[in-house]
Chains A and B, each alone.
Chain A
């Protein structure tokens, strides 16, 4: 299937491209727009980005595969990314992962829960070490996590 940017995203993409002296410099921002619209960076999404930036698709593949934020596969509607680096690790990051796995009924790093809602991933330091343990749920940070916080977060995942 050939993908297209939505009209709003098309405008955003044009604006982004206008901010650089070379079109290809808009690669990362345009991939972000694509991921936001399509949920992950499929081959079709890469084709769209390649066409938009007038680049061969292997250039887009090369970049998309390098950066961890671009999902190669679909993720759940709610993507929990738990920081497991030192400051979070010594304040309970693994227990946070265990608790999430139990609550969301999916193992960390193993795709989407059977109800299609949840994905759990371990990620490296998110620049929030002073409020450990913490996680990023889709775009938002949740810090100083307790079990009660996680219960609340999950209850809000409709």
Chain B
């Protein structure tokens, strides 16, 4: 398949503005500036673009939530926090093709009538921040940024804002608080950012990959997008060729594993995949014949999330893996809500004791119940993100209770073996070359 999002990866000096323009860059921008903002929002709706940051919310719809009569300035915030374990796609876009990102940001800002845009990039991406800053300087010098862009009368400033190590700043209102110079404590919604966002002004927060989509829809058309919708998949874990791969949305997970990812390393057997970043329910090997799009994954009780696929072979201990994830969530809880703060640490502790041969009968039921009591009862979705890997997604037919379909029940024999035998069923230790 022709590469669109990752076309520039591997091109020499792909970060330079001249190389980008020689390869067809900044051609969508003048076309966009001749459209009206409303036409651009309609275009995003017609194309059916859904957010790439995790929740899959329809982008055009989000943009149309901006109040028409609010006189305050508007802001576009590009979410480049990329901290969901298993996710590393935005980094590729920013480091290899920063001008594609900038072109997307200019078009998106114009569409939502924002004159200021911040790229909130995770603090550890020092290289990415540096490359973006340089590219932004180039764009200013060519008249793509600043006042009266390409004679259109539209003004835009973009600034790179570095985070400082906190997963919660990827949550859109945590991001907003952090950008304002505070702790990244998520806000209670409503009001939603579109109405009351950064500095109290109407604000749109979108993922990096989401914000490059208008470039390609303008260049190639809505029909092309619908027929070919490109998506980035982050393939990690026990693969022969892990990496970021561009494929048509809805590519089968087994194709991504076996063809793109080169199959399971050392000829071992596939055991499980977390398909959408660490927060989504795990799939057993026999559930992996699934198309990687929002609806197909929802049907099998998981989610596309951030499209971070963590692939595990038969050497992987599922108790240890879940413990690892809970350590992450307990560490990253911002501490505002009791269920998330206390529940996260408690679950981490119980998993630690099971892993270390001190598990008790009843621990598994208690974990499932605790997870169920956290999900849906917190200010932000980190509480859900912590509960879903343990106990699956909410079930509408059970009044929103979690359906139990994730680590604990799908690999129950392993958890029980740990408790009963005080040791691991998978006695092969993790390897390092």
Contacts and interface: CB of A to CB of B under 8 A. Distances in A.
A4 B242 CA distance: 46
B331 interface: yes
A25 interface: yes
A92 B308 CA distance: 19
Given A132-B242, A136-B124, A66 B184 contact: yes
Contacts of B235: 130
Nearest to B244: A130
Interface string B324-345: 1100100110000000000000
Contact of A127 (B124, B324, B325): B124
Contacts of A74: none
Interface string B67-111: 000000000000000111111101100000000000000000000
A63 B430 contact: no
Interface string A46-86: 00000001000000001100111110000000000000111
B159 A19 contact: yes
Interface string A123-134: 111111111110
A106 interface: no
B294 interface: no
Interface in B362-376: none
Contacts of A126: 124
Interface residues of A, number: 48
A131 B433 CA distance: 13
B166 A95 contact: no
Contacts of A125: 83-87, 278, 328
A144 to B, nearest CB: 9
B189 interface: no
Contacts of B431: 91-92
B167 interface: yes
A139 B199 contact: no
Given A66-B184, A125-B85, 8 more contacts: A20-B159, A21-B199, A28-B178, A32-B123, A87-B236, A125-B83, A127-B88, A130-B235
Interface of A: 19-22, 24-29, 31-32, 53, 62-63, 66-70, 84-87, 89-92, 94-96, 123-133, 136, 139-141, 146-147
A86 B321 contact: yes
A27 B182 CA distance: 8
B430 A85 contact: no
Contacts of B234: 129-130
Contact of B430 (A19, A24, A91, A139): A91
29 contacts: A19-B157, A24-B180, A24-B181, A24-B182, A25-B179, A28-B123, A63-B181, A63-B182, A67-B123, A67-B163, A67-B164, A69-B124, A69-B165, A86-B85, A86-B86, A86-B325, A87-B237, A89-B320, A90-B238, A90-B315, A91-B430, A125-B86, A125-B87, A129-B85, A129-B86, A130-B88, A130-B235, A130-B236, A132-B236
